Amino acid sequence: MGDTLLLIEDETLLRTELARHFRREGWDVVACSTVGEARKALIDDEVAPLVVVSDMQLPDGNSLDLLEEIRGHGRAAGEWLFLTGYGSVADSVRALRLGAFDFLEKPCDQKRLDLVVAGAARSARAQRRLAEEVRQQHQTYPFDAFVGASAQASAVRDILRKLTQVPFSALVISGETGTGKGLATRIIHYNGKRASGPLVEINCAALPRELLESELFGHEAGAFTDAKKRRRGLIEQASGGTLFLDEIAEMGLDLQAKLLKVIEDPRVRPLGAENEVTVDVQVVVASNRDLAERVRAGSFRSDLYHRLSVFGLVLPPLRERREDLDQLVPGIVAEFNVKAGKNVAVIPDETWTALRAYDWPGNVRELRNVIERCVLFSDSTVFPQQWLQLPGKGGLAATEARDGERLVIPLDGSMSLEDMDRYIIATAVERCDFNLTAAARSLGTTRQTLRYRVKKYGLKTPGDEGEDS
């Protein structure tokens, strides 16, 4: 059976001919002659047409009223195409305002009608695919995705529910590294009214300042060297949805000013552009640093901080909700069982004791890393405690090995990836007597990239002396 096409036409001969034609084209045609019949098919019989081809004026009313009614019910009624011999500017404007795909006057050439119906079908299929993706994401990120039976986890879920019900323009999510700020953002987006819109994520610490500006605001062709064509910025791409800016504290003061303007006046001017582009975006920012402290230090704009802080969500560290390990651990084990083809099912009491005694400075991210390693190295259904390697429990601490140019770093979850990066760079710079050119050469990177990371981690280079030697 083909896709459904709902045909609403009171002229018997035309309705019969159109129904016969579209059935030959592979459509499953449901034909109605009045608004009442169409309403019964759509609401009572729950017909879900891909395309609706409808006359405008029918014996018992105007089909535009039916479209407005169906939209009000939130029904997925496909794309609507109107045919009428009594067209008016007011009707066409209303049809387009209600989301009609097209508005054609009778008599309409059959070939043209086929082209328009084919275009409407493509549009409707794209909308259905998007709706299905949103439905799947909603299932992936329900409120219960923030796992835990503790009072703290329950409070977070309550706040997330409230945030999905209000049209906020900006939100700050704070908490230590690994507490789930990205997860909270996805829960808010996919359970809110913007779920059908895009979710655009960017880590502000991952890009140099010049590249970050271009990525956020976009640019016109010729705005700078290598700008060969126009690029829509991430803010523009997120219009109708959510923009998630992780590690917002690493954004430069000048870009903070531009971001503040976008939040207060939802328009963005791409680099090199003469005109601004109107956007409709809710902004979620996250930081593992104290933004209020950064404001006092002069490295974060106070006006942006106060504008963002209308709504705030603080995620608790794992050490303050250790009872949630009872739900977190089995769930993560099951996840990596599936990914690795393992069958770990038994977690010994001594393993639980070790997990509950540890402070988890890397929070849920560290917990996931530790469990992933243990599941991957398991050779039975019992959780292998020997691969926990928690610091203070037989694990290794970061140590230097001055044997040649080696550096020993633990892979037991005691150091985050960012901490490893900072440690490697600090050690390389110190070994090269703070000569950044030599340090960059030893690390196989560029001096510009190394300077950026030294600045990012706040590493001290004595007066930058010897930097250019």
Q: End of a domain among 336, 366, 387? A: 387
- How many of the other CB atoms lie within 10 Å of CB of 445? 14
* Distances from the Cα of 206 to the Cα of 209, 248, 255, 270, 287, angstroms: 10, 11, 15, 21, 14
* 4-8 and 28-32 beta bridge pairing: parallel
If you ran DSSP here, which 8-state letter would residue 398 be given?
Answer: P
Q: Do 109 and 48 share a structural domain?
A: yes
Q: What is the pTM of this model?
A: 0.64
Task: Tell me whether residue 221 is exposed, middle or buried, using C-beta atoms within 10 angstroms of its C-beta: 0 to 12, 13 to 18, 19 or more.
Answer: exposed
Query: Are residues 269 and 329 located together in one domain of the fold?
Result: no
pLDDT at 126: 82
CB-CB neighbours of 419 under 10 Å = 16
368 & 437 share domain: no
Identity of the amino acid at 95: A
The predicted pLDDT at position 399 comes to 42
Instruction: Report residue 93 as tokens.
Output: 């404007």
Please list the ranges in the chain whose pLDDT falls under 50: 1, 394-404, 464-469
**Which residue is it, tokens 């490697």?**
424
Characterise 216 by phi-psi region: left (phi > 0), alpha (psi -120 to 50), beta (else).
alpha
Tell me what pLDDT residue 402 has: 41
| CATH number for position 444 | 1.10.10.60
Co-location of 281 and 330 in the same domain: no
What sign does the CA torsion over 222, 223, 229, 230 have? negative
Do the Cβ atoms of 154 and 148 come closer than 8 Å?
Answer: yes
Neighbouring residues of 339: CB distance < 8 A, sequence distance ≥ 6 = none
pLDDT at 84: 79
168 and 240 together in one domain: yes
CA distance 215 to 16: 55
Q: Is residue 161 part of a domain?
A: yes
3-state SS, residue 84: strand
Nearest to 100 by CA among 77, 114, 82, 84: 82
Distances from the Cα of 312 to the Cα of 181, 194, 195, 285, angstroms: 12, 19, 20, 10
Regarding whether 284 and 243 lie in a shared domain, the answer is yes
Statement to judge: residues 174 and 237 lie in one domain: yes
- Read off the CATH number of the domain in which 64 is found: 3.40.50.2300
For the domain that residue 237 is a member of, what is the CATH number?
A: 3.40.50.300
d(CA 128, CA 134): 10
Parent domain of 437: 416-464
In a domain, 192, yes or no: yes
Query: Given the structure tokens 């903070």, which residue do they identify?
Result: 256
Q: What is the pLDDT of residue 89?
A: 67
State residue 105's pLDDT score.
Answer: 81
Q: Can you tell me the distance from the alpha carbon of 227 to that of 212, in angstroms, rounded to the nearest whole number?
A: 15
Domain endpoint, select from 111, 137, 163: 137
Whether the CB-CB separation of 444 and 428 falls below 8 Å is answered with: no
Residue 398 resides in a domain: no
- Residue 361, Cβ neighbours under 10 Å: how many? 18
- The values of phi and psi at residue 62, to 5°, are -100, 130
Give the closest residue to 148 by CA, choosing from 160, 139, 157: 157
Residues 12 and 49 in one domain: yes
Domain match, 433 and 338 both: no
- Sheet harboring 242-246: ordered strands across? 199-203, 242-246, 282-287, 170-174, 312-314
Answer yes or no: is 395 within a domain.
no
> In angstroms, rounded to a whole number, what is the distance separating the alpha carbons of residues 31 and 45?
13
Residue 341 belongs to domain with CATH number: 1.10.8.60
Is 199 contained in some domain?
Answer: yes
* Total number of domains in the chain: 4
Whether residue 192 is found in the same domain as residue 280: yes
How many Å apart are CA 209 and CA 254, to the nearest integer? 10
Domain's final residue, options 137, 155, 180: 137
Report the C-alpha gap between 145 and 100 in whole angstroms. Answer: 37
Can you tell me the distance from the alpha carbon of 18 to that of 259, in angstroms, rounded to the nearest whole number? 54
pLDDT of residue 453: 81
- Half-sphere exposure (Cβ direction) of 358: Cα atoms closer than 13 Å: 25
Whether the Cβ atoms of residue 141 and residue 155 lie closer than 8 Å to each other:
no
Please choose, from the candidates 39, 116, 101, the residue with its C-alpha nearest in 3D space to the C-alpha of residue 70: 39
Give residue 297's pLDDT: 92
The reply to whether omega before 107 is within 30° of 0 (cis) is: yes
Residues 348, 308 share a domain:
no
Residue 400 domain-assigned (yes or no) = no
Cβ 164 vs Cβ 191: under 8 Å: yes
The phi-psi region of residue 334 (left if phi > 0; otherwise alpha if psi is between -120 and 50; otherwise beta) is alpha
Residue 339 lies in a domain: yes
DSSP label at residue 143: G
- Residue 403: predicted pLDDT: 44
37 exposure class (CB count in 10 Å sphere: 0-12, 13-18, 19+): middle
- What letter does residue 196 receive in the DSSP assignment? T
Shared domain for 209 and 129, answered yes or no, is no
Residue 261 lies in a domain: yes
> Which residues are within 8 A (CB) of 210 and not within 5 positions of it... i.e. 6 or more apart?
none
Three-class secondary structure of residue 53 per DSSP: strand
Return the beta strands (E) in 126-220 as ranges. Answer: 170-174, 199-203, 218-219
C-alpha span between 304 and 38 (Å, rounded): 52
